[in-house]
């Protein structure tokens, strides 16, 4: 399997959450109220799965290895756009988290900001994923030998294995810190 196979599979799961976010945005607008539990779950998914896991593999492995290659102007340009788009996703997710926290404290402007941030994410992700799937991932593989692709896939698998341990080590550290034992 090429290293892009798992990345494209991850895209399908991200798309499912983004569709749910779109449905919730419509409901938030219609009802003029938000669902904090949904927002928390969506934020966790975007931060952990979409950004840290998925974008982490793209940036820390695929893009790192592509940066060592003599990319065409088009592919180099698309890779820079993707990196910038990842940063936009992080900024927008941060804005959503901030607005959600303020919504919990009854800030009258927070709902509009939640809707705005979620709308931006539901617009952004499908276009971003399509660019990666249709215009970048497959052509990017032509820069790598089969051996290099296999090494990248192995590194991505190791990245996934380590991620769960890193995440929960941080949970334990936060718990210890919050209770004064760390």
SS3 of residue 120 by DSSP: helix
Model confidence at 149, pLDDT cuts 50, 70, 90, reads: very high
What is the percentage of the chain residues whose pLDDT exceeds 90?
A: 89
Token pair of 10 as six digits: 């991850």
Residues 73-120: tens digit of each pLDDT: 999 999 999 999 999 999 999 999 999 999 999 999 999 999 999 999
**0.75 exceeded by the pTM?**
yes
Answer yes or no: are the C-beta atoms of 63 and 79 closer than 8 Å. Answer: yes
Confidence (pLDDT) at 182: 54
Distance CA 127, CA 131 (A): 6
Distance CA 112, CA 109 (A): 6
What is the arithmetic mean of pLDDT over 27-51? 97
Confidence (pLDDT) at 181: 62
Domain count, the chain: 1
Q: Which domain holds residue 125?
A: 4-178
Answer yes or no: are the C-beta atoms of 21 and 122 closer than 8 Å. Answer: yes
CATH of the domain at 92: 1.20.120.520
Confidence (pLDDT) at 168: 87
């Amino acid at each position: 399997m090429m290293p892009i196979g798992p990345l494209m599979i991850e895209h399908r799961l991200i798309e499912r959450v983004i569709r749910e976010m779109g449905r919730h945005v419509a409901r938030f607008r219609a009802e003029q109220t938000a669902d904090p539990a949904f927002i928390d779950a969506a934020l966790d998914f975007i931060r952990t799965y979409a950004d840290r896991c998925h974008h982490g593999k793209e940036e820390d492995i695929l893009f790192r290895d592509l940066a060592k290659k003599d990319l065409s102007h088009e592919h180099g340009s698309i890779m820079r756009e993707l990196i910038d788009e990842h940063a936009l996703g992080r900024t927008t997710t941060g804005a959503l988290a901030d607005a959600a926290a303020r919504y919990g404290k009854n800030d009258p402007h927070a709902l509009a900001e939640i809707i705005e941030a979620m709308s931006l994410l539901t617009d952004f992700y499908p276009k971003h994923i399509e660019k990666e799937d249709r215009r970048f991932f497959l052509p990017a593989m032509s820069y790598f030998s089969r051996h290099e692709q296999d090494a990248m896939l192995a590194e991505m698998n190791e990245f996934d294995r380590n991620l769960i341990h890193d995440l929960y080590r941080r949970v334990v550290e936060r718990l210890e810190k919050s209770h004064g034992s760390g």
